[in-house]
Structure 1
């Protein structure tokens, strides 16, 4: 049975509530049918989340700590972002700005800064009062969007491999995830537009799009995005776009889907400060969309965190107004780190898919005589003192991702040099 069929079957499965009601009625002397024998204690975890255990990031980070290995698995920088942005957060704390609950939609200063950013960068106009929502990072924005817009039985198309929270959020909303697989070819991963079109059915509610794409590093081209937009308009689909790596593009350019004809009114655009400004612990994200879509997302978001990161919101408002030289320098520095690690991985014997964006490099381990990414990553710390992540965790079709492994390059140069030296032991 396919993952899609399994997910649909699970969604349609009867809940435990009916069994409990029948049993309660019989115990009280009711005349209804006797309950079937008790199958045993009900599991504590909601059945929609039964397939999701501890994340691979937690497992691999714990393995790095236990073995003392260099952690290139989880995507967080090992240095803080701009000093002036950090000092802006300190000023806000000292001045008492954001130390109590900020406004539910986010502080006006940040909502205005987000609207200005979208206008200056992409010529997209948003009203900061009705079309911008501040969230606890992009992860909450994705969760709130899916909980707000997806109902049980709806299908959600996502590009596979996908960031692992996507599957969990679709499950929590009661939807059915439908993966469309990006496949490697000619040193990069590519979207098959015919496969995307074929995946749309009468039950499709929305497309969950991520570009620049984690974990493959693919940046969808303007032509690919135009085809996605045409399909969404033709089939009247909503689109949720995760654009957190929008400023980390090294080859090509980032183009928001909302900028295409017919897409502004059907697109929920999500981004965040963590990747762009190297303050991932602050968890400041945002949504831009029409008033109707923002209202829907806010209706779910207000019952998740309600508000978060008060003083940091003021700092991010200043960060978004940094000069172009900051963003250009960030890209140049990470491009150099990408090339440094890619060269080291190639020398170690991996086949390397050099990313056009993000800060992850995907590799194929088959040239090393390996084929099981899970086993390879769990053994790698002992073999050469480096931690990576198996891409198979990001697939419904695990066999498609089995031989691929992801490394993060958002680290100090000396860390990357040391990791490359250690990985060369594999070639020996």
Structure 2
């Protein structure tokens, strides 16, 4: 008989992940699947759609799965058909249809040396940081930030350095435009040290919905050139821009040479679970990113790469992006009209599918019960967002998780709602939010 084995000892965790293991973040708590939020809640929290990708892309996916060759490994840089489709899409659809005012960008993007397909945009960002960050290198992040930026940076030895976007002072009392949120460029310069390696620019911005204009991007680019910084342009919402011109920082002046641009099929085609993204840039930035992604995932989902290629190739004949933008404009209109009816001010987004709602006027009753999982020294927006879901049955996200501790006071006056749901769901959510009216004090 084999001797009884003793229970395994407690194994020490990596310093990079030990704080993440038991972390109760917004995604853990504010989800109908979490067990904390009522199951019948309308989920306007996490940014995923409640419809399938367009039918012509679904058909392409089915055909690809039925083939033999497309069910096996692809080369790490991505399937050639997709890389060619990305090159054509970026050079023609964006630059020409949206009228980039940058003659210097009338160039081709080499699908063999200037594009790498990644397992979602997030893996592309991680691979970029693995490729270029050395221990102690600093990365400038504008707040609020996509929360994955932090671990992507720290897991690769980097140090996040935060610069906030400032809302207009009157945002507590009236609705404002996303363009009114501003960067203080003196704060950007003050954040730079000899260890600064890169600066991240997210446009259209999650969660503000700000679409950076040419002047702002040129100022960021000038700083990057002065201090020899790499620019990571997170442009995953580039297909969701409303009555604005989406400007690519890589297309301005000589900034192509120091910029890597991240894109996402999931955001563009309502297929967030497909995990197909890409990184575009000059060879000296893309090839190290490819070397890193080869060791992280080796290659990205092969059959769905083919389907995304078809999605990009046939988008013009289906007028897909034009129709999608019109549909999102209608969703934005319906949701913001509901907020007006409730009496809550908000930031009107120019891009993406998020609305930041100012929660300052919501007064929570003294007898409202707040569970420990929420009331653990959390910022105010956690409490208010919990009150909203319990009172109105609509899930939203507290954006203080997208801020460094120093700048949480900016974020905690807001709650983030995602309007990437069908019109009927958005209307139903608007009706439910009327339950908040008795608790709004001007």
Q: Normalising to structure 2: TM-score of the pair?
A: 0.84
Deviations 1:182-237 (A, max 9, x none): 11116132222222222222111000111100011111011101111111111111
CA–CA separation in structure 2 for the residues paired with 1:413 and 1:256:
30
Q: Is the partner of 2:278 in helix, strand or coil?
A: strand
Partner of 1:99: 71
Q: Is the partner of 2:30 in helix, strand or coil?
A: helix
Partner of 2:115: 132
Q: 1:381 aligns with which of 374, 389, 394?
A: 389
Partner of 1:203: 195
Q: 1:279 aligns with which of 271, 275, 284?
A: 271
Partner of 2:375: none
Partner of 1:323: 316
Residue 426 in structure 1 maps to residue 436 in structure 2: yes
Deviations 1:216-272 (A, max 9, x none): 111101110111111111111101111000010113211111101121111111101
Q: Is the partner of 1:362 in helix, strand or coil?
A: strand
8 Å contact from structure 2 (residues 118, 278) kept in 1: yes
CA–CA separation in structure 1 for the residues paired with 2:352 and 2:28:
20
Alignment of 1:21-420 (within 5 A): 44-52=12-20, 53-61=23-31, 62-63=33-34, 66-120=38-92, 121-122=94-95, 123-185=106-168, 187=176, 188=178, 189-321=181-313, 322-323=315-316, 325-369=319-363, 372-396=380-404, 397-420=407-430
CA–CA separation in structure 2 for the residues paired with 1:300 and 1:72:
35
8 Å contact from structure 2 (residues 30, 45) kept in 1: yes
Q: Is the partner of 1:223 in helix, strand or coil?
A: helix
CA–CA separation in structure 2 for the residues paired with 1:190 and 1:49:
33
Q: Is the partner of 2:70 in helix, strand or coil?
A: coil
Count how many residue pairs are aligned between Structure 1 and Structure 2. 388
CA–CA separation in structure 1 for the residues paired with 2:294 and 2:24:
26
Partner of 1:32: none
How far has the Cα of 1:110 moved from its partner? 0.4
How far has the Cα of 1:327 moved from its partner? 0.9
8 Å contact from structure 2 (residues 38, 390) kept in 1: no
CA–CA separation in structure 2 for the residues paired with 1:291 and 1:351:
45
Cα separation, partners in 2 of 1:330 and 1:44, compared to 1, 3 Å: farther
8 Å contact from structure 1 (residues 67, 381) kept in 2: no
Cα separation, partners in 2 of 1:97 and 1:342, compared to 1, 3 Å: farther
CA–CA separation in structure 2 for the residues paired with 1:374 and 1:65:
13
How far has the Cα of 1:54 moved from its partner? 4.7
CA–CA separation in structure 2 for the residues paired with 1:173 and 1:87:
39
CA–CA separation in structure 1 for the residues paired with 2:387 and 2:13:
30
8 Å contact from structure 1 (residues 365, 404) kept in 2: yes
8 Å contact from structure 2 (residues 127, 292) kept in 1: yes
Cα separation, partners in 2 of 1:48 and 1:399, compared to 1, 3 Å: farther
Deviations 1:367-387 (A, max 9, x none): 223681101222322211110
Deviations 1:348-392 (A, max 9, x none): 232211111000000110122368110122232221111000010
8 Å contact from structure 2 (residues 140, 163) kept in 1: yes
Deviations 1:305-356 (A, max 9, x none): 1112110100111111211721111111101111211121232232211111
How far has the Cα of 1:169 moved from its partner? 0.6
8 Å contact from structure 2 (residues 37, 389) kept in 1: no
CA–CA separation in structure 1 for the residues paired with 2:361 and 2:64:
52
RMSD of the alignment, in Å? Answer: 1.7
8 Å contact from structure 1 (residues 162, 394) kept in 2: yes
CA–CA separation in structure 2 for the residues paired with 1:46 and 1:215:
31
Cα separation, partners in 2 of 1:88 and 1:148, compared to 1, 3 Å: same
How far has the Cα of 1:51 moved from its partner? 4.1
8 Å contact from structure 2 (residues 38, 393) kept in 1: no
Q: Normalising to structure 1: TM-score of the pair?
A: 0.87
CA–CA separation in structure 2 for the residues paired with 1:124 and 1:354:
34
CA–CA separation in structure 1 for the residues paired with 2:304 and 2:24:
28
CA–CA separation in structure 1 for the residues paired with 2:146 and 2:88:
28
Q: Is the partner of 1:49 in helix, strand or coil?
A: coil
CA–CA separation in structure 2 for the residues paired with 1:358 and 1:215:
8
